[in-house]
Structure 1
Amino acid sequence: MRLIGLDPGLQRTGWGVIEAVGSRLTPVANGTVTSDAGDDLATRLRQIFEGVQEIIARYAPDAAAVEETFVNKNPTSTLKLGQVRGVVLLAPALAGIPVAEYTPNHIKKSVVGAGHADKAQIHHMVKVLLPTVTVTGPDAADALAVAICHAHHAQSERSLARATLAAGGPR
């Protein structure tokens, strides 16, 4: 299964693509989609949307995962980030790709084992879990963490479904 993790941001939206075969994770690619700070908000949102669409077309993921927004102290920043999340959620949805959402604490707990891990711990664990990865930057590392979280979550769901079927449960 090929997964894309997305870490929305108005200046830089991180993305990371991994492949999951059983419990084995392999990095495919990662990077950031940027918007021009000198442009108006609508143009910047279009830049992010089109950039994410291009990544999805290039790497053809089977599923996507997006980090949920946390509330900033600045309401204007929170609203703008929500708009970015909207276009980031829309890009895979329009491509017919299922999209999962995870809170920052859920991602941290899944990757590091602690819900309040700092960025350095997350980036270290991304490199441990994907030993051959060359991370292109902090936003890409965060996106890879989102993809890893989804891979772990999806594997657990598949295992539970197989166990339920084996026990004669609902199909």
Structure 2
Amino acid sequence: MARTTSSPAPAAVTPAVERVLAIDPALRKTGWAVVECAGGVVKAVEWGVIHNKPALLPSGCLVSIRAGLNEVIVRHSPTVCAIESTIFVQSYKTAIVLGTARGACLIAAAEHGLPIYEYAPREIKQAAVGRGAAQKEQVAFMIRAQLRLRETPEPDAADALATAITHFQNTSAARVTERETRRV
């Protein structure tokens, strides 16, 4: 009896998918977005805002932010986290409040082992609108157009979506540079 052998079918080549959890931290309205890039195509998966009521104590807000982001991470399994860095503020109190909100966000991402990248607010606005001094409404409008969304996201969610776009632009530029330095 003749024996036939067959080689295994070649594995399907799937483009590497990077899925970013992007965050615009704030104590009362933390914007978040999950955006993925596969084969150079950027797609918004889901976005939203963690709303904390004014009556909620700051400590309760931090727990709410961490819990909300944990739910998003479990639901979407991002591969990386991108977060807006601390902005220059004239009030120490505001800086401390923003810092604690960022801390809750960073802990949520770190607990799941996500690499974390920070981007300056001006850099995010530059990536979204083309100028670093853009208003939140301008960012939301441009993000809607860039990602071909059916609705304009809330400003804080739009900022998170813009943070993801900034991350993809930066990592794409780094890959090109790396290829160029290795080119013989």
Following superposition, the deviation at residue 79 of structure 1 comes to 0.6
Q: Which residue of 1 aligns with 2:54?
A: 37
TM-score, scaled relative to structure 1:
0.90
Alignment of 1:15-54 (within 5 A): 15-54=32-71
Q: Distance in 2 between matches of 1:145 and 1:124?
A: 11
Alignment of 1:115-130 (within 5 A): 115-130=132-147
Root mean square deviation of aligned Cα: 1.5
TM-score, scaled relative to structure 2:
0.84
Q: Distance in 1 between matches of 2:65 and 2:139?
A: 24
Q: Which residue of 2 aligns with 1:100?
A: 117
Q: Work out whether residues 22 and 155 of structure 1, in 8 Å CA contact, stay in contact via their aligned partners in 2.
A: no
Following superposition, the deviation at residue 34 of structure 1 comes to 2.1
State the percentage of identical aligned residues. 35
Query: Which SS does the other structure have where 1:38 is aligned?
Result: coil
Higher Cα Rg, which structure: 2
Following superposition, the deviation at residue 67 of structure 1 comes to 0.5
Alignment of 1:106-145 (within 5 A): 106-132=123-149, 134-145=151-162
After superposing the two structures, state which structure 1 stretch, 124-133 or 137-146, moved more: 124-133
Q: Distance in 2 between matches of 1:163 and 1:24?
A: 22
Query: Which SS does the other structure have where 2:114 is aligned?
Result: coil
Following superposition, the deviation at residue 135 of structure 1 comes to 4.2
Q: In the alignment, residue 33 of structure 1 is paired with which amino acid?
A: I
Q: Distance in 2 between matches of 1:133 and 1:14?
A: 18
Residues 74-100 of structure 1: CA deviation (Å, up to 9, x unaligned): 321221111100111121111111110
Answer 1 or 2: higher relative contact order, Cα 8 Å, separation at least 6: 1
> Gaps (5+ residues) in structure 1?
none
Q: Distance in 1 between matches of 2:88 and 2:122?
A: 13
Q: Distance in 2 between matches of 1:86 and 1:5?
A: 14
Q: Distance in 2 between matches of 1:158 and 1:67?
A: 22
Following superposition, the deviation at residue 15 of structure 1 comes to 0.5
Q: Distance in 2 between matches of 1:133 and 1:75?
A: 39
Q: In the alignment, residue 56 of structure 2 is paired with which amino acid?
A: D
Q: Which residue of 2 aligns with 1:157?
A: 174
Q: Distance in 1 between matches of 2:20 and 2:152?
A: 16
